[in-house]
Amino acid sequence: PGPAYAAYRLPVGADLTFRFLARRGAYGHWTIAPDSLTPRDTGALDFLARAHDTVLGLSGDTLGHLIRELTATLTADVHLASRELPAAR
């Protein structure tokens, strides 16, 4: 088994702090235990909108581009999932 998960807090603003269990990967990435993330009702787009200047350091232009790209990716994922083609086809 890999390294153990540790507890983390990520304050995003005065009214929002994420809490989660995670471990760092060999190349510096984070692997988050999915069931540990709270609050659970914050989606990726909401996170970006709230954290772009406080945590991520993104300008408004960069945030807009990132939201556009993420929305396109999520739309494509929904389209692919709706087709549910078996791997053999």
Are residues 26 and 15 part of one domain? yes
Res. 6: pLDDT tops 90: yes
Q: φ, ψ for residue 86 (rounded to 5)?
A: -70, 155
Are residues 60 and 32 part of one domain? no
Q: Are 37 and 20 in contact (CB under 8 A)?
A: yes
Task: Give dist(CA 67, CA 35) in Å, integer.
Answer: 25
Backbone angle region of 78, left / alpha / beta, with phi > 0 → left and psi within -120 to 50 → alpha: alpha
Of the pLDDT bands very low, low, confident and very high (cuts 50, 70, 90), residue 86 is: low
**CB proximity list for 25: less than 8 A, separation 6 or greater:** 31
Of the pLDDT bands very low, low, confident and very high (cuts 50, 70, 90), residue 19 is: very high
Are residues 49 and 36 part of one domain? no
| 89: in domain | no
Model pLDDT for residues 40-80, shown as the tens digit of each residue: 888 888 888 888 988 999 998 999 999 999 999 999 999 98
Task: Give dist(CA 70, CA 31) in Å, integer.
Answer: 20
> Residue 68: which domain range?
43-84
Are residues 31 and 47 part of one domain? no
Are residues 29 and 2 part of one domain? yes
What pTM was estimated for this model as a whole?
A: 0.68
